[in-house]
Amino acid sequence: MAASVGGMGAPHRPVLLQETLQFLSPDRGGLFVDCTVGLGGHSEAILQASDETFVLGIDRDPSALEYAKQRLASFGKRFTAAHANFYEIEHVLVQAGLAGPVGILADLGVSSLQLDSPERGFSFRFDAPLDMRMDPTTGATAADLLADLPEVEIARIIFELGEERHSRRIARRIVDKREHGQPVGTTKELADLVLQAIGGGKWKQIHPATKTFQALRIAVNKELEGLAQFVETSIDLLKSDGRFVVISFHSLEDRIIKQELRRLSGQCQCPPRLPVCSCGTRKAVEILTRRPITSGGEEVDANPRARSAKLRACRKLTSEAVPRRDR
């Protein structure tokens, strides 16, 4: 189901919706947690599956959360909203007086509302302040990072989080510009600077600044920090036979999720030459997706954002605490 987003012409289409419902099985009823409720597309479908289904929707973006609350108001007390980051799931459940979810969903990455709101500064399609915060009420903006961080750190962020091979050249341009009293402050300035640094050439689908924008967005929102811990905590909170579904949009996220699910499925984490297992791992989950589920051509045509989506899912096998990672 697609719903129009207030102030935006394009409809909102939740990514991999049918696949998400298949793994979560919301028709059995119970409490589900949508850790990144966004505009409420997944939550709406979960609530529609059964009158015995309840959803706790979490989002760090107050604008998206308000939209979801209005969209899901007809479900009454079956929907509860909380303004928080997804890795605060345990605290949010305690604060809401809820426990024992049978399903947890996280649709990571940037939302349609954020991408299509010029003032949020996520996209180079608009000339706007270089913000990129998913929660605009707190934290440093992308412009702040480029104004304050040393050149080597800017290059590291762009290389590691954006996998941009021209990261040093781009960082040098950014620092050179600010040293001349012209810090990068808008999306257009940054996109133009990247084009100047690496050369526009002939590009068809992917703009040369895409990787740099991705890297800064991840850094601003600290999207990878605590992700492995979030997977562990979420599965720990689930009831036995509970389902955990996560949708990621780039390889760095997917790699962390894959490794954590493998650990929790009982795969030994010890060095290969160690004669006896000493990591204490045990099988706490059954992985339901041998390989990540991706969108088909029809969905990608209708929603280009789905092109890079990867869904992984697992089922909790025990009510006992999951094996903890070394901290």
Within a domain: 203: yes
Task: Decide if 267 contacts 238 (C-beta within 8 A).
Answer: no
Task: Centre a 10 Å sphere on the Cβ of residue 267 and count the other Cβ atoms it contains.
Answer: 13
Q: How far is CA 12 from the centre of its chain?
A: 17
> 138 and 97 in one domain?
no
Domain that includes residue 240, residue range = 3-109+224-316
Please state which of the ranges 30-39, 113-122, 142-151, 185-194 shows the lowest mean pLDDT: 113-122
What is the reported pLDDT for 5? Answer: 45
**Predicted TM-score (pTM) of this structure:** 0.88
pLDDT for 169 equals: 96
Whether 229 and 105 share a structural domain:
yes
What pLDDT does 1 receive?
44
Confidence of residue 6 (pLDDT cuts 50, 70, 90): very low
The sheet with strand 243-248 has its strands ordered as: 79-83, 53-59, 30-34, 103-107, 243-248, 310-316, 285-287
Q: What is the radius of gyration, based on Cα positions, of the chain?
A: 21
Of the residues 197, 221, 245, the one at which a domain ends: 221
Q: Is residue 325 part of a domain?
A: no
**Spatial separation of the C-alpha atoms in residues 237 and 257, rounded to whole Å:** 17
Is there a contact between 314 and 288 (Cβ–Cβ < 8 Å)? yes
Domain presence at residue 122: no
Q: Is the model's pLDDT at 327 over the cut of 60?
A: no
* Residue 323 lies inside a defined structural domain of this protein: no
pLDDT > 70? residue 227: yes
Reported as a single tens digit per residue, the pLDDT across 69-103 is: 999 999 999 999 999 999 999 999 999 999 999 99
Q: How confident is the model over 103-158, as pLDDT tens digits?
A: 999 999 787 778 878 888 888 888 999 999 999 999 999 999 999 999 999 999 99
Q: Are residues 104 and 140 in the same domain?
A: no
CATH at 187: 1.10.150.170
Report the alpha-carbon distance of residue 264 to residue 251 in Å, rounded.
20
Beta bridge partners of 107: 247
100 and 15 share a domain?
yes
Structure tokens at 188: 């257009």
The whole-number pLDDT of residue 79 equals 98
Contact 116, 124 (CB under 8 A): no
Domain boundary among 166, 199, 221: 221
Pinpoint the alpha helices (H) of the chain.
Answer: 17-24, 41-48, 62-71, 89-96, 112-115, 142-148, 151-162, 167-179, 187-198, 210-221, 227-237, 251-264, 297-302
Of 16-20, 61-65, 292-296, 299-303, where does mean pLDDT reach its minimum?
Answer: 299-303
Domain with residue 236: its CATH number is 3.40.50.150
> Cα separation of 176 and 165, whole Å?
19
The band of 12, judged by pLDDT with boundaries at 50, 70 and 90, is low
Cα–chain-centroid distance for residue 189? 26
Amino acid at 164: E
Is 124 inside any structural domain? no
Within 13 Å and on the Cβ side, how many CA atoms surround 163? Answer: 4
Closest CA to 313 of 269, 252, 249, 265: 265
